[in-house]
Structure 1
Amino acid sequence: MVAVAILAAGRGTRMKSDLPKVLHELGGRTLVQRVLESCVPLHPCRRLVIVGYGADLVRNSLQQTDAITNGNNHQPTLEFVEQKQQLGTGHAIQQLLPTLKDFTGDLLVLNGDVPLLRPDTLEQLINIHKEHGNAATLLAAHLPKPTGYGRVFCDSQNLVKQIVEDRDCTDAQRKNHRINAGVYCFHWPKLAEILPQLKADNDQQEYYLTDTVHLLDQVMAVDVDDYREILGINSRQHLANAYHVLQDWVKTNWMAAGVTMIDPDSITIDDTVQLEPDVILEPQTHLRGNTIIQTGSRIGPGSLIENSQIGKNVTIQFSVVSDSLIADETRIGPYAHLRGHANVGQGCRIGNFVELKNTQVGTSTNIAHLSYLGDATLGDKVNIGAGTITANYDGVKKHRTTIGDRTKTGSNSVLVAPLTLGTDVTVAAGSIVTDDVPDDSLVIARERQVIKPGWRLQSE
């Protein structure tokens, strides 16, 4: 039985922001949200978030995202505990004493500003803690440059003998590169017994959770395989560094799974994206949110895909696609914009400078260039001429345009919604169509051309 407590009370003054540090985003999700998601595979019996600065903002943010992401995870309801004064990590955990007074299991303590910890690492920490019956088990890491971090000294069995702050280390002790990651698994009844004994007799006048190590019997250290997992966020530079690490992991994994990246350094991929083998990502391609791209598709160069599903053998060049569906064998771009739940069928062409908004497009339909189709439904084998526009907004409401199979619009046509064009309709170039058109018809909706010979302004 494991409960999880996340420390999320600090402001993060080095972020130079009024936003609580844990609400800054990394790869599309807040830092603290990432920490919570890393705990999902652990199936904790309780989830506690210790809040302080911006408590309402943190609480509201997590409640909103948890309601969205927790539907299929069956996690316990989030509990929020307020630390009104930020007097250190030990003081934060002291605030749990009333809340966990009857709890007899283990408590996993995480930091809301350490967003790269992997579930496998946390599972290993908990398993070792239980196997050895430790009073506490802490996560440690071997840093190449450990300056500024407290050093962890262990015996041959990895039992912790001493934690020495960097400023207090001797020259010999500084050669030890094993540092305390600030992640712990405690046997809660033993921790609860000694928490009131913590003292703030240090330069910061704070209560440190590390001091519990010296008050508990059998504390063990577990070394993380990749020290980058425990990197904390205290500045914008740290945030950028963490994003670089996250991208390195994501892109390495996808390339190992059969995805080709022409220039990985210029590509960014959220870790929520799903890719199939034989997808090709061109330079300057950016994949965001809950995007799925199927095999054989070629994305980019210079494209942004967000919260969209891309079928097989699709080509997208220099385009933006958000919240949309694109079926197999379709070509998008260059310089197209699909948004607002556009749904494009199989074998279509959506060409340069075309915008689709909340529009459904049937199979084998071409919208080759210079068009805006908003709130429209197109059938199969439709051909949209250059410069065709759906006038979907009357100043108060949006209205829908329906275009039947095999219908063709001429260049510079304006379709004023609400409007229905039947099947096999031809719209003459330059028409402004305001009334429904029946099947198998030619519609010409423009003024007759007038020519006046010898017309020019007379000079005075």
Structure 2
Amino acid sequence: MIAIAILAAGRGTRMKSDLPKVLHELGGRSLVERVLQSCQEIEISRRLVIVGYRGELVKQSLMESQEIPENPDFPPLEFVEQTEQLGTGHAIQQLLPHLKGFPGDLLVLNGDVPLLRAETIKQLMAIHQQHKNSATILTANLPNPQGYGRVFTDSQNFVQQIVEDRDCTTAQKKNQRINAGVYCFHWPHLEKILPDLKADNDQKEYYLTDTVSILSPVMAVDVEDYQEILGINDRKHLATASDILQARVKDKWMKAGVTLIDPNSITIDDTVELQPDVVIEPQTHLRGKTSIASGSRIGPGSLIENSQIKENVTVLYSVISDSTVSENSRIGPYAHLRGHAQIGANCRVGNFVELKNTQIGDRTNVAHLSYLGDATLGEKVNIGAGTITANYDGKNKHKTQIGDRTKIGANSVLVAPITVGEDVTVAAGSAVTEDVPDDCLVIARSRQVIKPGWKLKDRNKELGL
């Protein structure tokens, strides 16, 4: 049995933000969500989050994102309040009434260390359980360990002592192994000694590391990539973590057969799914629950978030959010799809077109300079330049329906609610306000008037100038 406890009580004053540090985003997820995600490869019996500063906001955020990680077998989150932040040991002391008599292991993670890989956690737990340790700590070998406490072990990686940087001798400072702040304890052993922790230090705080000198055996496990244990304390750290995460994601997709043209100008959330033979052009950003199918070419200069792009689609200089584009369709340049727009197969949504909550059938074209909101279009419809659905009456939104093979002339307005049937032709410049049956020509505009021999009067002559 394994319980995890995530330390998420701190404010993070160096972030210069009212938002709790653990709720700052990294690659489309909050820091604390990423920590939860790192546990997805181990079987968990209890999930506890220790909250403090703006704890209700942390609770709300995590409860709203329970689909991350997507594992229905995970136990529900439990929240434990730490009213005063008196150190890591004090935080874990708050678990005593919640885990009373728990017979398993406790994995302790930090809510501001978001780059831990699931494989690393799995390895840490396997070694801990294999050796039946009282405690197992994650360690890392840093190129420059200055400022970090050093971990000293014997030849079998059993911990002998942890020495703070300021207390290290010159010889001890040459040791590059540091404590990563990630622990696994056999809870019955830890439970016995937690009440006896002392705050005998300059900070007057209770340190979890003090338990390591009491428990036995304690083993160290080195993380392969020290970047995994980097914590977030300020905006610069957040930017560094973003660079590391982006490098991981891009490396993964390029190895999987995705072409990234100028990777340094591209960002991809690790929630995005790509298929082989996708091409991502420069200055393109893919976010959230986005998927892009084989043969599609995205960009340059495009933003796609929470959208599904099917096979052989091209998207050029456009923004697509919360929408779906079916196979062999062309989007852009400078198109905007939002609000659950659904584009059929072999469609074109062209220059300066905005679609909101609109469904378009196969082989339908909206080539340029149009706004279609709350509309449903059939197959083989052609929308002329400058067409607008007037869907808002000042209070409510209304639907427009356009049947198969209908042609809407340039610069027309369809005033919703309205239904235009199949095989209809709407003359250019029409303002259509009534439903139209099938097989019709609609002309809804003022008759043109021509006055021969008329010219604009010379206003200056009238004024005698």
TM-score normalised by the shorter chain: which range applies?
A: over 0.9
Q: How does 1:290-305 map to 2 (within 5 A)?
A: 290-305=289-304
- Partner of 2:181: helix, strand, or coil? strand
The Cα shift of 1:449 comes to 1.1
- Correspondence list, 1:302-381, <5 A: 302-381=301-380
Q: Partner of 1:179 in structure 2? A: 178
> Deviations 1:250-292 (Å, cap 9, x if unpaired)?
0000000000001100000000100000000000110001101
Instruction: Give yes or no for the alignment of 1:8 onto 2:16.
Output: no
Paired residues of 1:10 and 1:53 also in contact (CA < 8 A) = yes
Query: 1:64 aligned to 2:35?
Result: no
Q: CA RMSD in A?
A: 1.1
Shift of 1:74: 2.4
- Taking the aligned partners of 2:359 and 2:60, their CA distance within structure 1 comes to 35
Alpha-carbon deviation of 1:34?
A: 1.1
- Structure 1 pair 240–325 and aligned structure 2 pair: CA distance change class (3 A): same
Q: Counterpart of 2:255 in structure 1: which amino acid?
A: A
What amino acid maps onto 2:244 in structure 1?
Answer: V
Superposed, which structure 2 residues align to 1:157-168 within 5 Å? 157-168=156-167
Distance 1:50 1:169 in 2: 32
Aligned to 2:40: 40
Whether contact under 8 Å (1:40, 1:73) holds in the other structure is no
- Deviation for aligned residue 1:329: 0.4
**Count of residues in correspondence between the two structures:** 459
What is the aligned partner in structure 1 of residue 426 from structure 2?
A: 427
**Which residue is equivalent to 1:97?**
96
Q: CA deviation at 1:72?
A: 4.5
Query: Which ranges in structure 1 are unaligned for 5 or more consecutive residues?
Result: none
1:203: how far off?
A: 1.3
Find out whether 1:129 has 2:128 as its counterpart.
yes
Paired amino acid for 1:388: T
Shift of the alpha carbon at 1:148? Answer: 1.4
What is the correspondence of 1:188-203 to structure 2 with a 5 Å cutoff?
188-203=187-202
Off by >4 Å, runs of 4+ in structure 1: none
One-letter amino acid matched to 1:233: I
Deviation at 1:71, TM superposition (A): 6.6
Give SS of 2:389's match.
strand
Give the superposition deviation at 1:27: 1.1
1 CA distance for matches of 2:64 and 2:438? 49
- Secondary structure in structure 1 of the residue aligned to 2:370: strand
**In 1: Cα distance, 2:70 partner to 2:267 partner:** 28
Q: Distance in 1 between matches of 2:195 and 2:434?
A: 80
CA distance in 2, matches of 1:40, 1:281: 29
Displacement of 1:245 in angstroms is 0.5
TM-score relative to the length of structure 2 = 0.97
Report the TM-score, using the length of structure 1 for normalisation: 0.98
Range moving further from structure 2, 424-433 or 195-204: 195-204
Instruction: Compute the displacement of 1:209 (Å).
Output: 0.5
1:230 equivalent in structure 2: 229
**What residue in structure 2 maps to residue 140 of structure 1?**
139
Q: CA deviation at 1:451?
A: 2.3
* Rounded Cα–Cα distance in structure 1 between residues aligned with 2:64 and 2:341: 26
Distance apart, 1:69 and its partner CA = 3.7
Q: Report if aligned partners of 2:287, 2:304 keep a CA contact under 8 Å in 1.
A: yes
State the distance in 2 between where 1:294 and 1:333 align: 18
Q: Work out the CA distance in 2 between the residues paired with 1:436 and 1:71.
A: 46
Cα drift, residue 194 of structure 1: 1.2
Rounded to whole Å, the distance in 2 between the matches of 1:77 and 1:407 is: 52
In the alignment, structure 1 residue 18 sits paired with structure 2 residue 6? no
CA distance, structure 1, for counterparts of residue 152 and residue 434 of structure 2: 82
Partner SS for 2:369 = strand
Structure 1 match to 2:257 = 258
Q: For 2:120 and 2:349, how far apart are their aligned partners in 1?
A: 45
Instruction: Name the amino acid aligned to 1:162.
Output: Q
Report the equivalent of 2:244. Answer: 245
Aligned-pair identity (%): 72
2:177 maps to a residue whose letter is R
Post-superposition offset of 1:63: 1.6
Name 2:119's counterpart in structure 1: 120
Cα deviation 1:155-198 (Å, max 9, x = unaligned)? 10000111111111122111111110000000001111111222
3-state SS in 2 of match to 1:56: helix
Does the 8 Å CA contact 1:369/1:385 hold for their aligned counterparts? Answer: yes
**Structure 1 CA distance for aligned equivalents of residues 165 and 285 of structure 2:** 41
